[in-house]
Each structure stands twice: as C-alpha cells, then as structure tokens.
Amino acid sequence: MKAFKATGTFLMGRDTQPFSKEVAAKDKEDAEEQVYSIMGSKHGVKRFRIDIDKIVPLKQEDITDSVIAYKTSKGEQ
C-alpha cells in the first residue's frame, strides 16, 4: 500500500470546512473513495458536499499519521 494525502473542503451546514486527510491505498482512485467514506462516516456528509482539491502521494518520512505509517511500512494488502 501507498500513502496519500487528500486536501479539500466539505459543506457542514452553511459553513465550508477545510480538511486534510492521510490514507493508505492502492492508488489515487482508491484513496479518493476512502476519503469520501471516512468523511461521510465521521461527519455525516454526503459525497456531493465533499470537494477534494488534490490527492498527492506521500513519502514514508512525510507521513504524520502513525496508523498510516504502520500500514505502508509493513506492505499491508
């Protein structure tokens, strides 16, 4: 697995909230799906209210989330 960082905004009520989320995924498309899933589950936001600006791959030394660092360092499938 690879680490990706997604940044963007989501609509929470009338306010737009910025977000930045690190995920472990196979590719960019999988990372995008995970971000939609996590943000929807955590904040109760529908997919059409989430705007992902960019998804970039991360190097192992740039990962700040310890769970993502563990998943990517062990080569978890």
- Residues constituting the chain: 77
Q: What is the pTM of this model?
A: 0.88
Whole-angstrom distance, CA of residue 9 vs CA of residue 76? 29
> What are the beta bridge partners of residue 17?
10
pLDDT at 74: 72
The one-digit pLDDT tens for each residue of the chain (77 residues) are 899 999 999 999 899 999 999 999 999 999 999 999 999 999 999 999 999 999 999 999 999 999 999 999 875 55
CATH assignment at residue 26? 3.10.20.10
Q: Which amino acid is at 16?
A: T
Range of the domain at 28: 2-73
| DSSP state, residue 62 | G
The number of distinct structural domains making up the chain is: 1
Whole-angstrom distance, CA of residue 5 vs CA of residue 57? 6
